[in-house]
Amino acid sequence: MKSRFLQSFTLVVALGLVSPLTAAPQIGEPAPEFSVVDTRGQVHSLGDFAGQLVVLEWTNHDCPFVVKHYSAGNMQDQQRLAREEHDAVWLTVISSRAGEQGHVSPEQADELTARREANPSAVLLDESGDMGRAYDARVTPHMYIIDPEGILRYMGGIDSNPSRHSADIPEATQYVVTALEDLAAGREVAQAVTRPYGCTIKY
């Protein structure tokens, strides 16, 4: 226990030192730790999911790009695919500051999940924006995949066509899906870093 504490303390100090050079998380490196409360009041940390794939989805229900993927059912499909086919944990993260667009109460968040027939493992309310900043999450939607060893394997956009029209989804490459397939096949993720497109996160 003590050594674990020392380890993380050293890690924090080290991170503090190198942070000017590595503001964003790096593919192939351990993903940033977080500790954020969900809509049911339960605290989730990355360490809780050791041994499982973790998908992070930053969202803002009023953002047209989020709407694009929820109205077409694309995001919900990917949530089911990840959880059912890949035994992944899907965490939807809301980093909007109180009073800003996209900020919701726990009840509103649960209501959105129910109404949109979404299927995340949990919805995290990152009001402080600490988790969002640790991951350098910029836009909604912004996607990350962390492997069972806690290593970051994918970061970037939901798909390859930065448009706001649902009609463009079928033609686009769904990066999270292809990355999950690569990981399931034991391959390196072919496109591990892509351009995230969407609405700026309102920290």
* 71 binds other proteins per the rule CB under 8 A: yes
Contact with other proteins (CB under 8 A) among 98, 114, 167, 185: 167
Q: Which one of 1, 5, 16, 21 is in contact with other proteins (CB under 8 A)?
A: 21
Distance between CA atoms of residues 196 and 156, nearest Å: 4
Contact between 67 and other proteins by CB under 8 A: the answer reads yes
Q: Does 166 bind other proteins (CB under 8 A)?
A: yes
Q: Is 163 in the site for other proteins (CB under 8 A)?
A: yes
By the rule CB under 8 A, 64 interacts with other proteins:
yes
Beta bridge partners of 143: 57, 156
What does the DSSP 8-state code read for residue 159? B
Instruction: Give 37 or 169: the residue with its C-beta nearer to other proteins.
Output: 169
Q: Does 101 bind other proteins (CB under 8 A)?
A: yes
Residues of 54-67 as b/e, b for ≥16 C-beta within 10 angstroms? bbbbbbbbebebbb
Residue 52: alpha-carbon gap to chain centroid: 14
**What is the total count of residues that contact other proteins (CB under 8 A)?**
36
Of residues 140 through 159, those in contact with other proteins by CB under 8 A are 155-156
Task: Name the minimum Å distance from CB 113 to other proteins.
Answer: 17
DSSP string, 75-142: HHHHHHIIIIIS--EEEEEE-PPTTSTT---HHHHHHHHHHTT---SEEEE-TT-HHHHHTT--EESE
The correct pick among 87, 165, 171, 188 for binding other proteins (CB under 8 A) is 165
Q: How far apart are CA 92 and CA 90, in angstroms?
A: 6
Q: Return phi, psi of residue 94, to 5°.
A: -115, 115
Report the nearest approach of other proteins to the CB of residue 135 (Å). Answer: 11
Q: Is 138 in the site for other proteins (CB under 8 A)?
A: yes
Nearest to 196 by CA among 31, 25, 68, 58: 58
- Site stretch for other proteins (CB under 8 A), options 8-16, 82-90, 99-107, 175-183: 99-107
Question: Which residues are near other proteins by CB under 8 A?
Answer: 18, 20-21, 23-24, 62-64, 67, 71, 100-102, 136, 138-139, 155-156, 162-167, 191, 193-203
